[in-house]
């Protein structure tokens, strides 16, 4: 249940990552390609039919695989491929085995991107927690995008490998990676980083190590940064914080606000469409849950 609960946070994050990845990979090819990708990304972000995005993504995945084959040590290409595969595997693939394959590739690309960015990142994931934490101190501000990609791809992998407790054990490493990233550059995707940290601190009940005071603070910061435009923040706040603590009033208030909000916020239409679907399902199941 803990692993499956990561769905909502990843949906919002990875939809954006997928579309940003389109721009990142094309900018490596040419300025003209970058301009086209920027236009496609904007159109997709403002698409209120997720199926259209789902059907169009595989072509970009294959294109990226080919580009990585030609430039296997290019950090930008590896990061774009990682985020695209993570997005598609978590958001748009229903078959569990296929989703696992896609997110495994996403994680591999994410790890390779970190290694290509800074040598200290090579094989960092095979180290004990204390060594992992120590090696994070070597990274600089310019490494933040690669750290973000690594954290995102690890979260996607964990989400789809719901029966692997070894994968779940990596959640603390994801958390400290995000914290290091935030310390290095607090202006890099601040709302999403706060949202992830809110989820990671509340994904487990207090008796199992969840820090709900910290989680609430992260969610509130995420709302302050982007809460009126990105409806997924309130969905996660309700799902991970309010549900776990059985705060029905807060739960229903947040989700009702999501459903009553206008999803047509430029740059967030697709994310908000998915968030409202999740909010509706959570409200419908509330009487059984509480």
Rounded distance between C-alpha atoms, residue 9 and residue 192, angstroms? 9
**Residues making up the chain, counted from first to last:** 290
pLDDT in tens, 144-168: 999 999 999 998 898 888 777 777 7
Q: Quick check: 202 pLDDT over 70?
A: yes
Q: What per-residue confidence (pLDDT) applies to 79? A: 87
Give me the percent of the chain exceeding a pLDDT of 90: 50
Residue 274 CB partners (closer than 8 Å, separation 6+): 11, 12, 15, 50, 91, 232
Q: What per-residue confidence (pLDDT) applies to 267? A: 77
Rounded distance between C-alpha atoms, residue 261 and residue 157, angstroms? 31
Q: Quick check: 212 pLDDT over 50?
A: yes
In the predicted model, what is the mean pLDDT of the chain?
83
**Among 151, 7, 150, which Cα is nearest to 89's?**
7
Q: What is the pTM of this model?
A: 0.81
Domain count, the chain: 1
Average pLDDT over residues 90-96: 86
Q: What per-residue confidence (pLDDT) applies to 40? A: 55
Average pLDDT over residues 210-231: 91
Q: 70 or 287: which carries more pLDDT confidence?
A: 287
Where residue 44 falls among pLDDT bands split at 50, 70, 90?
low
Where residue 91 falls among pLDDT bands split at 50, 70, 90?
confident
Average pLDDT over residues 131-139: 93
Q: What per-residue confidence (pLDDT) applies to 135? A: 92
- Domain encompassing residue 63: 4-289
Q: 155 or 259: which carries more pLDDT confidence?
A: 259
Q: What per-residue confidence (pLDDT) applies to 68? A: 87
Q: What per-residue confidence (pLDDT) applies to 19? A: 47
Long-range contacts of 180-185 (CB under 8 A, 24+ apart): 180/136, 180/137, 180/139, 180/147, 181/144, 181/147, 181/148, 181/151, 184/139, 184/140, 184/141, 184/143, 184/144, 184/147, 185/141, 185/144
Task: Provide the CATH number for the domain around residue 173.
Answer: 1.25.40.920
Q: What per-residue confidence (pLDDT) applies to 47? A: 66
Average pLDDT over residues 120-148: 92
């Amino acid at each position: 249940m803990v692993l499956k609960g990561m769905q909502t946070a990843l949906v919002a994050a990875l939809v954006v990552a997928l579309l940003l990845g389109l721009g990142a990979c094309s900018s490596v090819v040419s300025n003209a390609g970058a301009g086209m990708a920027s236009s496609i990304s904007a159109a997709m972000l403002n698409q209120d039919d997720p199926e259209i995005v789902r059907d169009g993504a595989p072509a970009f995945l294959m294109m990226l695989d080919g580009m990585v084959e030609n430039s296997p040590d290019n950090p930008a290409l590896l990061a774009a491929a990682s985020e695209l595969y993570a997005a598609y595997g978590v958001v748009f693939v229903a078959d569990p085995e296929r989703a696992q394959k896609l997110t495994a590739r996403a994680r591999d690309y994410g790890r390779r991107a970190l290694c290509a960015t800074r040598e200290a990142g090579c094989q960092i994931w095979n180290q004990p927690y204390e060594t992992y934490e120590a090696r994070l101190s070597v990274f600089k501000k310019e490494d933040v995008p690669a750290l973000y990609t690594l954290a995102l791809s690890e979260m996607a992998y964990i989400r789809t490998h719901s029966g692997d407790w070894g994968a779940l054990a990596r959640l603390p490493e994801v958390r400290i990676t995000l914290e290091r990233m935030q310390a290095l550059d607090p202006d890099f995707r601040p709302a999403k980083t706060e949202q992830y940290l809110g989820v990671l601190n509340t994904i487990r009940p207090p008796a199992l190590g969840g820090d709900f005071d910290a989680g609430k603070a992260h969610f509130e910061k995420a709302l302050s940064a982007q809460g009126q435009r990105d409806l997924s923040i309130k969905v996660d706040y309700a799902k991970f914080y309010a549900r776990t603590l059985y705060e029905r009033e807060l739960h229903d208030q947040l989700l009702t606000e999501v459903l009553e909000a206008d999803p047509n916020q430029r740059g967030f239409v697709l994310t908000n469409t998915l968030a409202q679907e999740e909010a509706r399902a959570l409200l419908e199941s509330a009487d059984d849950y509480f």
